[in-house]
Amino acid sequence: MNILAPSDEGLQRAAEALRAGLLVAFPTETVYGLGGDGFNPHALARIFAVKGRPRFDPLIIHIAERDSLERIAAIPSLEPAVRNKLDVLCACLWPGPLTLILPKQPEVPDLATSGLPTVAVRFPDHRVAQQLIRRSTGAVAAPSANPFGYLSPTRAEHVQEQLGDQLAFILDGGPCSIGVESTVLDLSAGSPRILRPGGTPRERIEAILGAVEGPSAEQGRMPHSPGQLKSHYAPRTALTLHRREEMILLPYEPSAGYLFFDRRSRDAWVQGLDRPYDLEPGGTSRIRLLSEGGSLGEAAARLFDLLHELDKIGVSRIRAERVPDAGLGPAINDRLSRAAAAEVLAH
Ligand code: TXA
Ligand code: MG
């Protein structure tokens, strides 16, 4: 068992492993990361190998001090207006679930950035992540700690099941509080553009910067962020995404799994059924609610966990409800629609 409690000793052992070029999975506020020294090409190559991730999909470098940013990103090459935006964003939203794309420093290995002139940097808002980064090399490259294309892990056990035997350690920080990956915001091209909706809602960024671009509907088809392939974050079970109006009218299939947004939708569906669903033996266990009371924050925090669960109990198909498109809603709907696209692409 290579799971470590994030005690002083656990953090020390994990940090030493990172310094030695080994890989360590660690908790962040969004999802668990698969960490390696961001300046060690061998560790970076190993991240791609362990994840089965294509080399054209660049990594995020995680830092734990605002001042580490200069080592990684070429800030002086930014126009003064962009530099101001960067300063305000860092002051208001870091540490937090926001990844910034900036021009890279030449010292950052090309493997980390897939040869791009830009680099992704994030300062996670999690004590264990920060301690690990500070005690190791100050710059930890980490994609989500799942095999490429599969659901992101929000618990140490998810990492253990999927990649456990290939890592030096997994630091167990309990379940992740936000539950969807960071928002990726590109500041390298002049006007700021969201490349991936995530844990920082667009509204929070726009309250600071004014209107920002992307992501648009067509971006799912033509990704700006190299990792934004349409099929991603997918459970092994086929998933179909339904609007609420559709979801509450679905016939009951005993073998299917149902993922409702809230109790209101689930109850509306149950009322319309011609027989009570809970008469099926074990039937209720296939029906999950992202959030009883319709909280998007709670829905995001539970999303991957519930998908992992439905995947494990072996349903024939997951029928999931789209959530409202405000706050964390677009990030949740993005993950669900990519999971739904996985099946289409597989055929
Ligand atoms: O919340 C998160 O961001 C988690 C935790 C572990 O921090 N990490 C994560 O990493 O989601 P990953 O590798 O699964 O996703 C990184 C995303 C990918 O979509 C990738 O294409 C994009 O960031 N990215 C990285 N470098 C980029 C660059 N230079 N330009 C554009 N997109 C970039
Ligand atoms: Mg990922």
Give the separation between CA 66 and CA 100, rounded to whole angstroms: 12
- Taking the centre of ligand 2 as the mean of its atom positions, its distance from the CA of residue 100, in whole angstroms, is 16
Question: Which is the closest atom of ligand 1 to the Cα of 124?
Answer: 7
**Mean per-residue pLDDT, 315-319:** 95
- Confidence at 278, pLDDT banded by 50, 70, 90: low
Give the separation between CA 230 and CA 219, rounded to whole angstroms: 9
Domain 239-346: top CATH class: alpha beta
φ/ψ of 3, rounded to 5, equals -85, 130
pLDDT given at position 130: 98
pLDDT at 212 over 90: yes
- Taking the centre of ligand 2 as the mean of its atom positions, its distance from the CA of residue 226, in whole angstroms, is 12
pLDDT given at position 281: 55
Question: Whose C-alpha lies nearest to ligand 1, atom 19?
Answer: 227
Q: Specify which of 147-161, 216-230, 263-277 reaches the highest per-range mean pLDDT.
A: 147-161
The residues spanned by each domain of the chain are 3-209, 239-346
Measure Cα distances from 214 to 115, 189, 308 in Å: 23, 13, 29
Of 264 and 230, which is predicted with more confidence?
Answer: 264
pLDDT given at position 234: 73
Choose which residue among 99, 113, 222, 229 to substitute to test ligand 1 binding: the one with the highest number of ligand atoms within 8 A of its C-beta.
99
pLDDT given at position 342: 75
pLDDT tens-digit series, residues 170-182: 999 999 999 999 9
- Confidence at 229, pLDDT banded by 50, 70, 90: low
Give the separation between CA 247 and CA 262, rounded to whole angstroms: 12
Sign of CA dihedral 273, 276, 277, 280: negative
DSSP lists the bridge partners of residue 346 as none
* pTM for the model: 0.94
Instruction: Decide: 333 in ligand 1 pocket, CB within 6 A.
Output: no
- Taking the centre of ligand 2 as the mean of its atom positions, its distance from the CA of residue 54, in whole angstroms, is 12
Domain 3-209: top CATH class: alpha beta
pLDDT given at position 76: 96
Give the separation between CA 105 and CA 70, rounded to whole angstroms: 8
Choose which residue among 29, 60, 200 to substitute to test ligand 1 binding: the one with the highest number of ligand atoms within 8 A of its C-beta.
60
pLDDT tens-digit series, residues 25-74: 999 999 999 999 999 999 999 999 999 999 999 999 999 999 999 999 99
Instruction: Decide: 248 in ligand 1 pocket, CB within 6 A.
Output: no
As residues whose CB is below 5 A from the ion ligand 2, the structure lists: 144
